[in-house]
Amino acid sequence: MSTRVIVDSNIVIDLLNGIAEAKTELLYHADRAISAVTWMELMTAFHAQRESGVMASEDYDTSVIFLNVFPVIDIDKAVMGKAAELRGHSLVERSKKKLALPDAIIKASSEVTGRTLITRNTKDFSNDGPLVRVPYIAKVSHRSPAITPNIFTAKADLIVVISDVAEPPTFSR
């Protein structure tokens, strides 16, 4: 039995960049979805990369087809209400970082649907709850600051250092 998950943008980008740990993590979970915010963030990046000439039209088309494989969790009234609650709480809780609205929507999408959020974003999503999983930590840098890499194909000129790989998820029956 696998866990139902919602995949954050950074994990999808890692997968598109060919980072093996992202692929390994997602293979553990048969029921994968993304939030509407993740879909919009990635489509925005695809459009910008295509329009700036960094991404070829064929790569754009392939990226869109790939992204549309994921079911999208829509922003309905339940998600909106939970996102407002999470963001509002972060605004008054002085000991925590203020949660940006897009991150609140992603977290709310996870909580409302009972899906575990798979992310590397430990700044905004605490790894201490039952619905958040940080499968690995990745530090990504570019070989040359003069190069604008195409982050969505294997042509990217990236240096990726993976650390703190989590144990494979366990599933209860």
pLDDT tens figures, 130-150: 688 888 877 666 554 444 444
Q: Given this model, what pLDDT does residue 143 score?
A: 53
Q: Would you say residue 56 lies in a domain?
A: yes
Q: Say whether pTM exceeds 0.75.
A: yes
15 occurs within a structural domain: yes
Per-residue pLDDT tens for 96-133? 788 999 999 999 999 999 999 999 888 888 765 668 88
pLDDT of residue 1: 43
Answer whether residue 138 is part of any domain: yes
Q: How far apart are CA 66 and CA 59, in angstroms?
A: 10
Nearest to 152 by CA among 69, 35, 73, 67: 67
- Over residues 38-49, mean pLDDT: 94
Task: Answer yes or no: is 80 within a domain.
Answer: yes
Cβ burial 84-93 (10 Å sphere, 16+ → b, else e): eebbeebeee
CA-based end-to-end distance of the chain: 7
Q: What is the largest CA-CA distance in the chain?
A: 51
**Residue 173 within any structural domain of the chain:** no
Place of tokens 């009972």: 114
In whole angstroms, give the CA distance from residue 81 to residue 65: 31
The verdict on residue 124 lying in a domain is: yes
Give the count of domains, the chain.
1
CB-CB contact of 147 with 126 (8 Å): no
Asked if residue 170 belongs to a domain, the reply is: no
Q: Which residue range is the domain that position 89 belongs to?
A: 5-163
Which one has a higher pLDDT value, 84 or 162? 84
Cα dihedral across residues 148, 150, 156, 159: positive or negative: positive
**CATH no. for residue 108?**
3.40.50.1010
